[in-house]
Amino acid sequence: MGLASKSPLRAGIDVAWAVEARPNKLYGSAIAHAYHLESVVAQWPRIVVGDGALDYLKDYAKKGDNSLSAQYRRLISEICLSMLMVDIDGNHSVDYLGQNYTNATKATLNQSAKDLAILYIEEQISHWGQQGNEKLVERYKNVQAYFIGS
């Protein structure tokens, strides 16, 4: 939806320690990891998932007893893991066009929104190509490949 509305979004999700030093003021490794994923790793519009989050989900997907709460944690972890993909650069990211994401969130990107997103991506490739910014052209081509492949 961000691309369709010409507001591309990139983000990073990770799990690490943090502390709320004051109300709504979070400090710690979790913030640093998420910031690094968003500002350095993501590079193009996508949501990158860090190793801490992956390890956390994988751990919960396989551990626990047969209690109802453990079964629930395993199920939710498995669902979350099924909504991820290994992206073109080897990093894990949310596969928001994938069937598992659609099934789990009941969200669908209708064809009109998908067409608008693709149009925006093509506009960005053209614009940045004319500006001679090959780095941004390459990044939007990565997004384009994801949309075409999905």
Whether the CB-CB separation of 110 and 98 falls below 8 Å is answered with: no
Structure confidence at residue 100 (pLDDT)? 92
Structure confidence at residue 1 (pLDDT)? 84
Which of 80, 13, 5, 12 minimizes the C-alpha distance to 44? 12
> Cα(36)–Cα(12) distance, rounded to whole angstroms?
8
Full domain range(s) for residue 38: 11-107
Structure confidence at residue 17 (pLDDT)? 93
Total domains in the chain come to: 1
What confidence category does residue 110 fall into, taking pLDDT thresholds of 50, 70 and 90? Answer: confident
On the question of pLDDT at 107 being above 80, the answer is no
Share above pLDDT 70 across residues of the chain, in percent, rounded to a whole number: 98
Structure confidence at residue 64 (pLDDT)? 79
- Residue 131 falls within a domain, yes or no? no
Structure confidence at residue 146 (pLDDT)? 94
Question: What are the phi and psi torsion angles at 92 (to 5°)?
Answer: -80, 140
- Residue 122 falls within a domain, yes or no? no
Q: Which residues pair with 49 in a beta bridge?
A: 13, 92
Structure confidence at residue 122 (pLDDT)? 97
- Residue 145 falls within a domain, yes or no? no
Structure confidence at residue 113 (pLDDT)? 85
- Residue 70 falls within a domain, yes or no? yes
On the question of pLDDT at 127 being above 70, the answer is yes
Average pLDDT estimate for 87-106: 91
Structure confidence at residue 112 (pLDDT)? 85
Q: What type of residue is 65?
A: D
- Residue 112 falls within a domain, yes or no? no
Alpha helices in 6-133 (DSSP H): 29-36, 51-62, 68-82, 99-105, 111-131
On the question of pLDDT at 108 being above 80, the answer is no
Mean pLDDT of the chain: 92
What confidence category does residue 109 fall into, taking pLDDT thresholds of 50, 70 and 90? Answer: low
> Cα(3)–Cα(131) distance, rounded to whole angstroms?
20
DSSP 21-55: EETTEEESHHHHHHHHIIIIII-SSSEEE-HHHHH
- Residue 150 falls within a domain, yes or no? no
